Amino acid sequence: MSGAPPTWDEARTFLREKFALAKDTPEIVALAWRISAQGQEFLQWVRISPASVHGESWLAVLADICPQTHLPTAAAFDYLNQTPFGGLMLWNGTYFFRHTLALEWLVLPALEHTIRLVAHEAVRLRLAIVPPKAEEQALAHYDE
């Protein structure tokens, strides 16, 4: 790279060199690896895809946390206030930890570091979430 910001294709090439990719298409790169935390091992998926923000090229980095039924909306906002970076996203019934990066300012080694941070933060949040008991889930709609 000659001082110019990396392209999505250059970022994908870099990711191929650093990770074993589970999926690699022009629209998305996905990887999974095992992360140990608090005496447990978790399979953590991370998805990276290009995005456009006001005509600028960005990358969205997503890591799954838990099903929507395990985290009430109010608790999700509480967790959002505790995250040092990134945010939470709800999509198709699953909460994700989400962080975005502008390609214009990206140095590729920072992408690897960010992916690892996002994955570990998703695991940290997953460990903090106590899934509701079955009877609490059955009555949850009365809270609204």
CATH of the domain at 44: 3.30.1460.10
- The total domain count for the chain is 1
Query: Can you give the pLDDT at residue 133?
Result: 66
> Angle of helix 108-128 relative to helix 8-18, nearest 10 degrees?
70
Query: Can you give the pLDDT at residue 135?
Result: 44
Query: Can you give the pLDDT at residue 136?
Result: 52
Query: Can you give the pLDDT at residue 140?
Result: 56
The dihedrals phi and psi of 41, each to the nearest 5 degrees, come to -120, 135
CA distances from 33 to 36, 44, 134 (A): 10, 6, 30
Structure tokens at 25: 């298409």
Structure tokens at 63: 């890591």
Specify if 2 maps to a domain.
no
Q: DSSP alpha helices (H): ranges in the chain? A: 8-18, 73-82, 108-128, 134-139
Which structural domain range is residue 48 located in?
8-143
pLDDT lower than 50: segments of the chain: 1, 135, 138-139
Specify if 59 maps to a domain.
yes
Tell me the C-alpha distance between 3 and 108, whole Å: 12
Specify if 125 maps to a domain.
yes
Query: Can you give the pLDDT at residue 1?
Result: 46
**132 CB contacts (<8 Å, ≥6 apart)?**
69, 70, 72, 140
